[in-house]
Amino acid sequence: MQCHPITGFLGAEISGLKISDKISEKQTSFLKNALSKYLVIVLPDQFLTAEQQRGLADVFGAPAINPYARGRGEYPEMTIIVKEVGDTTGVFGGGWHTDLSFLDLPPRGSILSAIEVPPYGGDTMYLSQQAAWSSLPKPLAQLLEGRKVSHVGKPYGVRWAPPVEEQSMKGSTTRNDPDADRERWHPAVLKHPITKKKGLYINPTYAHRIEGFDEDKSTTILQMIYDHCALPEHCLRLRWRNGMVVIWDNYFTQHYAINDYHGFRREMRRVAYQNFNSKGPIDFQT
Ligand SMILES: [Fe+2]
């Protein structure tokens, strides 16, 4: 088993590892170490069954049910993300975000398996919140460190919900939930429990307000930071192939699904996982 880094800051492709029904202890520790170090790990040519993908989630934590995109049938923790040939609306996850950061207990990470990908387009962008933090101009870093930021579930709520015609995966995600408008406060900066590297924990889809600042001032400051986060140096652009599996750390990265494949079908299967310690959900504080 080998890790091949993809960029200078995040992502590694794994070779020599085939996920099967039984994942060995050696494979488990290899995968965990690789994820801690690279934050996004790519396993080509896996073609996992739903059961195998569910088993892979067990390596990293307990599978987490997405309350806004609950899976049907046997696997409620499994979300099928589909864009059909004739679908010309936005895509699920189009815009920089970390999954469900507006929940009290956001998922720790996700595993995405490519079932059917378009011949070109449909890439996913990732960025390292650790790289963004370590190069953040000092005044902004000082402003954020030790502070909390509120998150709200804009696309799923009422107050900030996008118009129906802009909504992706219509009918398969829950919308207009007043509870998604409730502010949840999380630390602006987290420290990785294994590598001890610090990273930003804000994203433009869900972060709303910085503790001690009003909405307008928060928006101005946060936008400056988002521009910094999305610098090309902090990013990885992933090209999918059928059968590819990607695992990412949802606390130290953001991702963005690129919607440039109208006229083609794309189907992905996702499982998220939780792995909180006894102190609670997000206690990776500085
Ligand atoms: Fe996402």
How does pLDDT run across 203-254, given as a tens digit for each residue? 999 999 999 999 999 999 999 999 999 999 999 999 999 999 999 999 999 9
Q: Is residue 177 domain-resident?
A: yes
Asked about 255 being catalytic, the answer comes back as: yes
Which residue has 């440039």 as its token pair?
260
Q: Is residue 61 domain-resident?
A: yes
Task: Kindly provide the b/e burial profile for residues 202-241, where b requires at least 16 CB atoms within 10 angstroms of the residue's own CB.
Answer: bbbbbbbbbeebeeeebbebbeebbebbbeeebbbebebe
Q: Are 48 and 136 in contact (CB under 8 A)?
A: no
pLDDT band at 124 (very low <50, low <70, confident <90, very high): very high
Say yes or no to pLDDT of 106 above 80. Answer: yes
Lowest mean pLDDT, pick from 40-49, 129-138, 158-167, 224-233: 158-167
Asked about 21 being catalytic, the answer comes back as: no
Q: Is residue 284 domain-resident?
A: no
pLDDT band at 277 (very low <50, low <70, confident <90, very high): low
Question: For the chain, how many helices (H) and strands (E)?
Answer: 5, 16
Q: Annotated catalytic residue: which of 186, 255, 266, 269?
A: 255
pLDDT band at 165 (very low <50, low <70, confident <90, very high): low
Q: Annotated catalytic residue: which of 54, 87, 99, 151?
A: 99
243: closest CA among 104, 157, 116?
116
CA distances from 244 to 14, 18, 45, 178, 255 (A): 11, 11, 5, 36, 17
d(C-alpha 82, C-alpha 52), whole Å: 20
Residue 262 main-chain phi, psi, to 5 deg:
-55, 140
Asked about 4 being catalytic, the answer comes back as: no
Residue 201's CATH number: 3.60.130.10
157: closest CA among 205, 214, 200?
205
10: closest CA among 114, 93, 129?
129
For the residues 186-194, what does the mean pLDDT come to?
93
pLDDT band at 286 (very low <50, low <70, confident <90, very high): very low
Question: 237 alpha carbon to ligand 1 midpoint, in Å?
Answer: 14
Token digits for 198? Answer: 């610090």
More confident residue, 204 or 276: 204
Instruction: Kindly give, in sequence order, each residue whose CB lies less than 8 Å from that of residue 216, ignoring residues fewer than 6 positions away.
Output: none
Asked about 99 being catalytic, the answer comes back as: yes
Q: Is residue 27 domain-resident?
A: yes
Instruction: Kindly give, in sequence order, each residue whose CB lies less than 8 Å from that of residue 49, ignoring residues fewer than 6 positions away.
Output: none
At 107 the pLDDT is 93
Q: Annotated catalytic residue: which of 54, 97, 208, 209?
A: 97
For the residues 110-117, what does the mean pLDDT come to?
97
Residue 125 main-chain phi, psi, to 5 deg:
-95, 145
Q: Is residue 281 domain-resident?
A: no
Name the strand (E) or helix (H) holding 254: strand 253-257
Residues surrounding ion ligand 1 at CB below 5 Å? 93, 99
Which residue has 């909180």 as its token pair?
276
Number of domains in the chain: 1
Q: Are 196 and 94 in contact (CB under 8 A)?
A: no
Token digits for 158? Answer: 């009422």
Question: 109 alpha carbon to ligand 1 midpoint, in Å?
Answer: 10
Mean pLDDT of the chain: 90
249: closest CA among 48, 15, 34?
34
Provide the domain limits for residue 43. Answer: 2-274
Residue 209 main-chain phi, psi, to 5 deg:
-150, 140
Lowest mean pLDDT, pick from 12-21, 154-163, 165-174, 191-200: 165-174
Q: Is residue 280 domain-resident?
A: no
Q: Is residue 286 domain-resident?
A: no
Look at strands 12-15 and 40-43 and give their pairing. parallel
CA distances from 246 to 131, 263, 284, 285 (A): 20, 24, 23, 26
Question: 126 alpha carbon to ligand 1 midpoint, in Å?
Answer: 10
Q: Is residue 282 domain-resident?
A: no
Question: 250 alpha carbon to ligand 1 midpoint, in Å?
Answer: 9
Say yes or no to pLDDT of 269 above 50. Answer: yes
Question: 95 alpha carbon to ligand 1 midpoint, in Å?
Answer: 9
Chain Cα centroid distance, residue 255: 5
